[in-house]
Amino acid sequence: MITITISRNPAGRIYAFSVFNHSKNDVCAAVSLLTLNTVNGIEALTDEPFTYDYNPEGGFLKVELPLIKEGHGSPEVGLLLDVMALGLHSVKESYRNEIEIKDDVSHD
């Protein structure tokens, strides 16, 4: 099962996400497309700083955006992350037994 964790700051903005237990099937391809396209979009289209750890062989991706975590960051990046989350939840609707999404709001 693919496990996706979406972390949100107290205002509800996504500041991090991770994907674990990724393999090679159609569901994983959809998750990869959504998440990696988001990372590529942030990198190519914005100046937002972020960190990531990625292992395509081990099915692992973790991304964190420190400015958004602190309550700052660009609205454009927020929109990219919201669209990604919407897409991931849509994939989960079709493949309930193959994806678990933890969508958490921080109370820091």
pLDDT digits 0-9 by tens, 52-70: 998 877 679 999 999 999 9
User: Which pLDDT does position 106 carry in this prediction?
Assistant: 59
Domain count, the chain: 1
Q: What is the pLDDT of residue 24?
A: 64
Q: What's the rounded Cα separation, in Å, for the pair 65 and 83?
A: 16
Q: Scanning the structure block, which residue is given the tokens 């609205």?
A: 75
Per-residue pLDDT tens digits for 2-40: 999 999 999 999 999 999 976 668 888 899 899 999 999
Query: Strands 14-20 and 51-55: what pairing?
Result: unpaired
Distance of alpha carbon 49 from alpha carbon 56, whole angstroms: 22
Q: Which region holds residue 76: left if phi is over 0, alpha if psi is between -120 and 50, else beta? A: alpha
Give the model's pLDDT for residue 23: 63
Query: What is the CATH number for 78?
Result: 3.30.70.1490
Contacts of 9 (CB under 8 A, 6+ apart): 15, 68, 69, 70, 71, 105, 106, 108
Give the span between the Cα atoms of 90 and 96, in whole angstroms. 10
What pLDDT is attached to residue 26? 85
Q: What are the Cα distances from residue 45, in Å, to 34, 80, 84, 90, 96? A: 16, 10, 15, 25, 32
Residue ranges making up the domain that contains 65? 2-105
